[in-house]
Amino acid sequence: MIIIFLLLLPIAGMVHFMSGHLDISFNDLINSLFNFDETNTNHLIAREVRIPRMFTAIIAGAGLSVAGLLMQTLFNNPLAGPYVLGINSGASLFVAFSIMTGIPFLSSDLGIITNALIGAMVFGLIISLFSEVVRSQISLLLIGIMLGSFTGAIVSLLEVSSDASELKVFTLWSLGSLSRIEFSQIPLISLVFIVGIVGSLFLIKPLNLLILGQDQARLLGLNYKRTRFVIIAITAILIGLITAFCGPIAFVGLAVPNLVRIMLKSQHHGLLIVACAFIGGIFVLLCDALIQAMENYMLIPINVLTSIIGAPIVVLLILRKLR
Amino acid sequence: MIELKKVHIGYTESILHCQDIKLECGNVYVLVGKNGIGKSTLLKTISKQIAPISGEILVGSKGIRNISTSELPKLLSFVPVHFPQMDYVRSKEFISAGRAPYTNALGKITEEDSLEINHAIEALGIETLSERFTSELSDGEKQLVAISKAIAQKTPVILLDEPTAFLDYSNKKKVLSILTKTSKSLNKCIVLSAHDIDLCLEFSSNFLVIDAYSKEMQQLVTPSREDIISIAFKESE
């Protein structure tokens, strides 16, 4: 199964690379990396536009899916996800502050990333405190949705009171985009991403225990509070990073882990994490390839497309569960 | 193996208490009492899920207060009343979770672990269930898998919260007979709560009966059915 993913990812990557409206060959891709010629337009496009965008799609899909998987296991709820639980909205709120307060440091790249990260972390901790009080799965989802609405309202307040240029920056950000990362930013982002993924691989044993429920996991020696903190921290790193650069992207974190579980019929998290990373990357690559292919007719923000595809998948999952 | 010394238990105020009670390995103790009197609370207190209000509880001669989270699962395993609802977990994987206290940080199953897992499966004769998903098992089969996990955990103490609750007559008998056999062959101290007094009398002579009126738990050895009922279910004093 893993071998199939390993093959599918580069294929999806190539589909994505070729789907822009300018024809750029595979040779250009290789040359732009190893034999870069500044005067060659094709090289420039490959290096400055196509490759960063492909990279962003993979990171965003993989990161969101793994983060979603961690949330679902932590809260023992297949419908949990960074978006539903309001962790995305936390990041959004803090980014809204940083863009619309007009303080220069805050609206720099680093400022936005830091804020998205802090926002995701704060809201992750809030939701986990609530999870301590309410044991019911539905209640927790409702609290997450309320948290989302509440922050949405505050963001709207900020929007009303901000000036036109700030508002434009924020609105564009909130539509979600995969074309905001530059070639030179790739190493830094990869580093943060790898920290998140490798960190989650160290959680395999606690995650496998959490499947049995919090009480059983504790009785088998799991330090629940510490584990929860580490899971939230890793989720915040992944969500914060992706939200800062790509804006909020809905449903990937919710739908992909569920699809992966159904496909693999397993709860072994070593397998699930790797599969989520690959399938998530492939899913967003293909979504974005579709967007690029449609670019001449219609501009579709990534968040819109993932919602259009993701929402029905989630409804199907719920129906499947109820059956 | 388990010692209760003037223990009062409850969440905020004492709902149940006992004088000194000593439970030994090699026996099955049947905990009997009215609904809501605190049987589950007692089992949760012994397994350190909630703290006692006063008094001291010892497991294996050590006060549970001083037993660390990583040490406790090697001394005591707990079978809850409800089997966890999980998709895509095979019985064998579930039983393997009983080895978690012994595996390293990455959860690697060693040769010794898989030997113990196979022993636990053989002990209950559930080889045919091991590759099936737990979500597809019947209540009786789930209970056997849950007990098998507790055996894989290799603890001297096993606590079971109403292990016979959702089972038919023959499965109740099967579970009780397996537990009795295990307590002798593997020298374990097994405590289970149950409402099937007559059936339990066939398998065990050790009872922990909670007085319906004074809320005191007392240990009875080879009691009669009438003794148990008159203490645990008396209407008023």
Q: Which fold has domain B2-86+157-232?
A: Rossmann fold (3.40.50)
Chain B nearest C-alpha distance from A256 (Å) = 16
pLDDT for A53 equals 93
Residue B229's Cβ-count burial label (10 Å; 0-12, 13-18, 19+) is: middle
Chain A nearest C-alpha distance from B87 (Å) = 8
Q: Which of A78, A204, A216 sits opposite B106 (nearest CB)?
A: A204
The predicted-structure confidence for B97-142, as pLDDT tens digits, reads as follows 999 999 999 889 999 999 999 999 999 999 999 999 999 999 999 9
- The answer to whether A267 faces chain B, any CB pair under 8 Å, is yes
Report d(CA A303, CA A290) in Å as an integer: 13
Q: Quick one: angle between helices A302-322 and A269-294, nearest 10?
A: 130
Q: Which of A211, A215, A222 sits opposite B89 (nearest CB)?
A: A211
Q: Identify all chain A residues contacting B49, using CB atoms and an 8 Å cutoff.
A: 215, 218-219
**Is A267–B69 a contact, with Cβ atoms under 8 angstroms apart?**
no
Band the pLDDT of A106: cuts 50, 70, 90.
low
The predicted-structure confidence for A159-178, as pLDDT tens digits, reads as follows 888 888 888 888 888 887 88
Number of CB pairs, chain A paired with chain B, less than 8 A apart: 63
Report d(CA B83, CA B70) in Å as an integer: 23
Phi and psi angles of residue B130, each rounded to the nearest 5 degrees, phi first: -60, -30
**Is B78–A218 a contact, with Cβ atoms under 8 angstroms apart?**
no
What Å distances lie between residue A244 and A58, A90, A307, CA to CA? 15, 11, 19
Query: Looking only at Cα atoms, what is the longest distance across chain A?
Result: 65
Sorted by where each starts, the structural domains of chain A and their CATH numbers stand as 25-322 (1.10.3470.10)
**Is A267–B105 a contact, with Cβ atoms under 8 angstroms apart?**
no
- Domain boundaries defined on chain B: 2-86+157-232
The predicted-structure confidence for A204-249, as pLDDT tens digits, reads as follows 999 999 999 999 999 999 999 899 889 989 998 999 899 888 888 8
Chain A nearest C-alpha distance from B12 (Å) = 16
Burial A151-171 (b: 16+ CB within 10 A, else e): beeebeebeeebeeebbeebe
**Is B47–A221 a contact, with Cβ atoms under 8 angstroms apart?**
no
